[in-house]
Amino acid sequence: MSSRVLWWIKTIIFLIVIFLLYRLVQSKIKHFDEIEQSFKTLFLQKNIFLLIIIFLLTPINWAFEAWKWQKLALKVEKINFVEAYKGVLIGLTLSTTTPMMIGDYAGKVLMLKTDKRLQSIGAILLGNSLQMYVSLLFGTISYLFFVIWVNPKPMFLHIFIIVLLMTCLIFGFFLSMNLPNLKVYLSRNKFFEYLKKYLGVLENYTLLELKKLFIIAISRYVIFSIQFLLMFKIFEVNLPIYTLLVGVGIVFLTKTLISVLNSLGDLSIRELTSIYYFGFFGAKIIAVSSATFMIWLVNILLPIIIGSVFVLQLKFTTKRN
């Protein structure tokens, strides 16, 4: 494929991303009207310092994701931190238009140079699963506290959800303990045999590597939580810190469980969950809505805008190792 054709392909993708980004912002404009008065509190002198910290934590947040991806990609291709960071931002950008995070896979895969790109799908799946497991772990603990405190109705439904979440946690732990034996499972029938070229790389990760990757995933969750707490502070959601932390855990849990939706619906999921939870504790809905919207803007929208520029650096050709 000629370089000119590749240039046109990347340019078309870039323009499509910009158009969809415009539609994304346009669809959220109503939030500016709804919380315009609350936004004025952002620029009060007492809040500027907190706002600066939140913005500075955003690149650190995605740096942990890039670091995780860099370590995961080592089993397929050695990439530097900058390349990993670009791949993460491109993946985030492309995922705004695709369900089940397909764009995230495409963004990271197309930034690799190796002709063994398909093997990286398993590595990306592992990275996303680890982050999902962290959200599931803290979210389940948070949800358990919520049920104990509030005693929501109908109780049997919430107990069922807790049992289901704990079952998923146990299954995820069992699966991680058996990654080295993955080849045995994939060889049992033709369907799994077909998946081997995508998932076979998973058997190469040791338990020690998984523990290190898990710690990185937890670190990213902590950064997210700190940003959320600081934003709640700015918008004067004056609840005990443990109540806020439980709310953050439930918000991320809900967002994770409904990850089949693309990022266009991400804000609505966060906002509705926040309003539902914090409503039990008498928090002002407008303040909760404002904080949730700003977290989405800082942590999702801004990185998407930056990632759209890197789309032009996608690699459609590979080189043999």
Q: What's the DSSP call for residue 35?
A: T
The pair of structure tokens assigned to 241 is: 């810190």
Domain boundaries, the chain: 3-24+41-313
Separation of alpha carbons 275 and 284, rounded Å: 9
The pLDDT value given to residue 158? 86
What is the spatial distance between Cα 143 and Cα 165, in angstroms, rounded to a whole number?
10
Q: pLDDT tens digits, the chain, 321 residues: what are they?
A: 555 555 556 566 656 666 655 555 555 555 555 555 556 666 666 778 898 999 999 999 999 999 999 999 998 889 999 999 998 998 888 877 666 677 788 888 877 887 777 888 889 989 999 999 999 999 999 999 989 888 888 888 889 989 999 999 999 898 888 877 766 666 666 666 667 777 778 888 888 999 999 999 999 999 999 999 999 988 888 889 999 999 899 888 887 777 654 444 455 666 677 777 887 887 787 788 788 888 888 888 888 888 877 776 666 555 544
Q: Name the residue among 170, 173, 92, 135 with its Cα closest to residue 252.
A: 135
Q: How far apart are CA 167 and CA 46, in angstroms?
A: 45
Cis preceding-peptide flag for 154 (omega within 30 of 0)? yes
Q: What pLDDT, on a 0 to 100 scale, did the predictor assign at position 18?
A: 61
pTM attached to this predicted model: 0.83
Number of C-beta neighbours around residue 276 at 10 A: 15
Please name the amino acid found at residue 303. P
